[in-house]
Amino acid sequence: MLYENTASYTPDFASEIDKPEEILADELGLSIQQARQVLQKIGDAVLRHESLTLARVIGLMLQSNNLPVTVHALAIAAGLDQLNGKRSQADIARELGCTRALISHYVVGIRDVLSGNASNFDCFKFRKSQSSRETFRQCATDPFTAAKQAARERLKTRN
């Protein structure tokens, strides 16, 4: 008969009451005091990083020539679930009376500020991934697309 190495109770109540420093001490082979010091250092670094990120965001908003676009771009970059019924950057652009490209420009800039260019920050609810942006850029500059854009411009200038 094979026996599994499982806790005597399910769920394992001991794991439910372990403190973070106890878990870290077990995982890294540290004393409880050392684990507390590590957690304190990590907590301080995270708080400092969050404070700097918030300062950057506030700085962007204070510098902005177009605060409504900046605020909406911040919401998109942060991945907020609700944008007052807006479903896309194009919806937001129509409401604000600007181009979708302007919204996208602000979103990408704010994303870079918030993430420090870390790709794991990306939120794609209202925008393309960084890799698909490059693919889109290449497709947008192919001869067919350029000819199509030129034809649109000719139609606009006739009217």
Do 78 and 35 share a domain, yes or no? no
User: In this structure, is residue 1 part of a structural domain?
Assistant: no
Give the three-class secondary structure for 153: helix
Average pLDDT for the chain: 78
Domain that holds residue 27: 9-63
Amino acid at position 131, single letter: S
57 pLDDT band, cuts 50/70/90, is: confident
- Give the CA count within 13 Å in the CB-facing half-sphere of 9: 6
Question: Are residues 107 and 32 part of one domain?
Answer: no
- Give the residue ranges of DSSP H helices in 9-142: 13-17, 20-28, 32-63, 67-78, 89-96, 100-115, 130-140
Same domain, 87 and 134: yes
Residue 25 falls inside a structural domain: yes
**pLDDT above 70: percentage of residues in the chain:** 70
What is the C-alpha to C-alpha distance for residues 39 and 46, in angstroms, rounded to an integer? 10
Q: What is the pLDDT of residues 5-54, one digit of tens each?
A: 655 556 666 667 888 888 888 888 889 899 899 999 998 888 888 888 78
Does the pLDDT of residue 119 top 60, yes or no?
Answer: no
Q: Is the whole model's pTM more than 0.75, yes or no?
A: no
> Looking at residues 131-135, what average pLDDT do you find?
66
Residue 4 lies in a domain: no
Regarding whether 73 and 53 lie in a shared domain, the answer is no
Q: Are residues 82 and 143 in the same domain?
A: yes
The tally of domains found in the chain comes to: 2
Is 46 inside a domain boundary? Answer: yes
Q: What are phi and psi of 80, to 5 degrees?
A: -60, 140
* Per-residue pLDDT tens digits for 71-97: 988 888 877 756 667 778 888 899 999
* 85 SS3 class: coil
Whether residue 132 has pLDDT greater than 90: no
Question: Both 79 and 106 in a single domain?
Answer: yes
Residue 159 lies in a domain: no
Average pLDDT over residues 93-109: 89
Q: Are residues 112 and 149 in the same domain?
A: yes
Please indicate, yes or no, whether residues 43 and 113 belong to a single structural domain of this protein: no
Please name the residues in contact with 153: beta carbons below 8 A apart, sequence gap of 6 or more.
none
